[in-house]
Amino acid sequence: MVESHPELNIEKVNADGIFNTQPCRDNVQCIAGHNMVFLSKDYNMDAYIFGCPVLNEEARRKLEHMGMEVPSQRECERKEECSPISEIGRIYRVKREVLSQIDWDNPQFSYRFKLVHSLRTKIERLFSRMKERFKMKHVYKRGIDKIRGHILKFMNLMHILANLTGTYGV
């Protein structure tokens, strides 16, 4: 991004919150142009860990499980420049705060996210967006009566807060 627009004096770029698109995935690449694969999280360093899909068997298996394209080659043309002494290719750590738009508990580019997301129906995704929009992300109620009751409690709370602060039209 910065290289594409040197005239803009860009200091920081935040990716779109919807990370799981091909243009976004294309930006997490090694120097040979291969898409790096999310492997895990490093809790000690508070960072995401990505691996080379050409040389790293774990990265290859994750791509297979997600039904994504696995590089057919097993040799990297830029290995000597990238990671000359590593047998599994480059392992890249990205600090959590660099990718602040990514949900740390369930990264959008992880195998678990893709698995859970593929199992959900359209209506569940719609409810999820509605809950997030109305600040009810952590409501785990089932059934219309329980949801309606929770919404009524939420609205009563908003009215009480509005009365206490003297603001109306919430």
Instruction: Tell the residue number behind the tokens 């920081």, with chain if given.
Output: 12
User: Cα separation of 59 and 52, whole Å?
Assistant: 7
Whole-number average pLDDT of the chain: 76
Tens digits of per-residue pLDDT, 31-71? 777 778 888 899 999 998 888 888 888 888 888 877 788 88
pLDDT band at 16 (very low <50, low <70, confident <90, very high): very low
Give the pLDDT confidence score for residue 43 in this predicted structure.
92
Give the pLDDT confidence score for residue 5 in this predicted structure.
67
Contact criterion met (CB below 8 Å) for 106 and 113: yes
- DSSP string of 1-39, one letter each residue: -TTT-GGG-----PPPS---SHHHHHTSB-TTSPBPEEE
User: Cα separation of 6 and 129, whole Å?
Assistant: 36
What is the rounded average pLDDT of the residues 2-12? 67
Give the pLDDT confidence score for residue 107 in this predicted structure.
80
The proportion of the chain whose per-residue pLDDT surpasses 70, expressed as a percent, equals 75
User: Cα separation of 115 and 110, whole Å?
Assistant: 9
Give the pLDDT confidence score for residue 139 in this predicted structure.
64
Positive/negative CA dihedral, 94, 15, 55, 82: negative
Give, as one character, the DSSP assignment of residue 74: S
Give domain limits for the chain.
Answer: 6-119, 122-165
What is the rounded average pLDDT of the residues 16-41? 67
Give, as one character, the DSSP assignment of residue 70: P
